Structure 1
Amino acid sequence: MTALTPEAVEALFTRSDDSFLFARWGRPIAPVLFGVEDSTISVFKGALEALCVLTGHNLAELDPEFGVNLMVFFIRDWSELKETPNLDRLIPDLGPLVARLEAADANQYRLFRFDANGAIQACFAFIRVDAEVAAVPAETLALNQMVQALLLWSDRAFTDSSPLALVEDRAVLRPDIADLMRAAYDPAIPAMSQDPSTALRLAARLGRGQ
């Protein structure tokens, strides 16, 4: 697969309101999963570890400020979020958010928090296990979710095409997306940028390998 063009890179970080916003994690990731069996937790942590090896980013047992900073919740119904103890302290306007997700019949949602420099400092990912999600193999679901948690992609980045590809019936990260994720964690790239020219800088690093 050929490298992404600068225009394609820019589109992956251009939001529905046409604003460009790129951000990566600015601290080690300390993950925790709720609502799944230990075997699924291992699959998700394995996917996250692989992506951290790819990007050169670090994992941690604990975050000094939050304890854990990547929380993944598996639920059967969005109303369960309102029953989760203390979640309303972490997520502002939890009630209206749940109402919007129910109205949209959504099966996933991610909320990011950022530090003073605009880098990602926390991510809350919610996955409603409907029939569509239940039909997806755990390895595929894990890789897809961790890819989308590792960068602040556009809200429409993967609406038409997945970041994954099938190789011999096994889901793997698309080579062009892997290359872009590696470039996104290059220390020469700012941890946060609202300047579309950042897409040119990212594109210039594609195909270099490691």
Structure 2
Amino acid sequence: MDSKAVEALFTRSDGSYLCARWGRPIVPVVFGVEDATLSVVKGAIEAVVALAGHRMAETDPELGANLMVFFFRDWAELPQVPNLDRLVPDLAPLCDRLAAAGANQYRAFRFDEAGAIRAVFVFIRMDDVLSEMPAETLALSQAAQVILLWSDTAFAETSPLARAGEAVVLRPEIGAVIRAAYDPVMPVVAREASHALRLAARIG
């Protein structure tokens, strides 16, 4: 990928550039799935974290778990989850807006004082489209989209995944961007487009 293609992945719809990575080990917890699907989701997260060269842990000292993934059938279910509105402010009106828009997924990021990712809340409404998607594909797509703060338009037209024979895998260029962003010499957060030049140099 050239620097312009990399820059587009982190240039938001308002024109600002923002790339952030996790500043702490990732501790996932998954709600609303059976044990078989749980292992698939956690396996996908582990694979993407390993690709990044980042770390996972058993517990987060501040939140217990810092990557929370919720599977459900209707947006109206989320405000009923005890204490979730403490973690996601204005949860009820948010769910109303997402329901009105017909959305089937939403990711809410939280950041620490340095601007690094400290927590992500992933909401997945299992509509007809997502229900037909293999669990492995859905899990890998979500794992890729929470390992970095991508642009809100980064994957609007093109999935981060690709088919390799019978398997669905992370697109090689997206994997390369993730590895480059987690290079120890790179900043945990960047707000200048020159950051894309540094990423592209590490990819190319």
1:28 equivalenced with 2:25 (yes/no):
yes
Q: Which of 111, 115, 125 is the matching residue for 2:112?
A: 115
1:145 equivalenced with 2:142 (yes/no):
yes
Matches within 5 A, 1:60-139: 60-139=57-136
Counterpart of 2:48 in structure 1 is 51
Measured against aligned partners, the alpha-carbon deviations of 1:4-33 in whole angstroms (never above 9, x if no partner) come to: 110011110011111111000000000000
Residue identity matched to 1:174: R
Equivalenced residues, count? 204
Residue identity matched to 2:72: I
Residue identity matched to 1:115: D
Counterpart of 1:167 in structure 2 is 164
Shift of 1:169: 2.6
Residue identity matched to 1:172: V
Gaps of 5+ in 2: none
Partner Cα separation in structure 2 for residue 53 and residue 82 of structure 1 = 33
Partner Cα separation in structure 1 for residue 141 and residue 150 of structure 2 = 12
Q: Look up the SS of the partner of 2:203 in the other structure.
A: coil
Counterpart of 1:202 in structure 2 is 199
Residue identity matched to 2:169: V
* Alpha-carbon RMSD: 0.7
1:5 equivalenced with 2:30 (yes/no):
no
Measured against aligned partners, the alpha-carbon deviations of 1:160-193 in whole angstroms (never above 9, x if no partner) come to: 1111100113110111111110001001111011
Counterpart of 1:39 in structure 2 is 36
Partner Cα separation in structure 2 for residue 51 and residue 149 of structure 1 = 10
Shift of 1:137: 0.3
Instruction: Give me the TM-score of the superposition, normalised by structure 2.
Output: 0.99
Measured against aligned partners, the alpha-carbon deviations of 1:92-131 in whole angstroms (never above 9, x if no partner) come to: 1112101110111000000000000000000000000000
What is the percentage of aligned positions where both structures have the same residue?
63
Partner Cα separation in structure 2 for residue 35 and residue 132 of structure 1 = 18
Q: Look up the SS of the partner of 2:74 in the other structure.
A: coil
Gaps of 5+ in 1: none
* Range with greater deviation from structure 2 (163-172 or 128-137): 163-172
Q: Look up the SS of the partner of 2:163 in the other structure.
A: strand
Measured against aligned partners, the alpha-carbon deviations of 1:21-70 in whole angstroms (never above 9, x if no partner) come to: 10000000000000001111101111111112111100001001110000
Residue identity matched to 1:155: D
